[in-house]
Amino acid sequence: MSDQTPGSAAPGWYPDPQNPGQQRYWDGTTWSAATPPPQGPSPAAAPSAPSPVGSPPPAPMPGAQPPTSNNAIVGLVLAIGSWFICPIIAAVAALFFARSSSKEIEASGGAIGGAGMNTATRIIAWINIGVYIVVGVVFAIIAALGIGIFAQVASTVDPVTNTQTGLADGEYVMESNASLVINNECTFSGPVYTMKEDLVKDTTVYGVGAECSLGTNTSLVYFSVTGGTARILDVR
**What residue spans define the domains of the chain?**
70-151, 159-235
Give residue-wise pLDDT tens across range 73-131: 999 999 999 888 888 889 999 999 999 999 988 888 878 888 999 999 999 999 999 99
Give residue-wise pLDDT tens across range 199-224: 889 999 998 887 877 655 667 899 99
Instruction: Over range 40-60, report the average pLDDT.
Output: 53
Contacts of 113 (CB under 8 A, 6+ apart): 65, 66, 67, 68, 69, 72, 105
Written out in words, the top-level CATH class of the domain with range 159-235 is mainly beta
In which band, very low, low, confident or very high, does the pLDDT at 1 lie, cut at 50, 70 and 90? very low
pTM of the prediction? 0.39
Selection from 72, 56, 70, 73 nearest residue 107 by Cα: 56
What is the Cα–Cα distance from 18 to 50, expressed in whole angstroms? 49
**Identity (one letter) of the amino acid at 77?**
V
With beta carbons less than 8 A apart as the criterion, state whether 230 and 162 touch. yes
* Residue, of 143 and 226, whose pLDDT is higher: 226
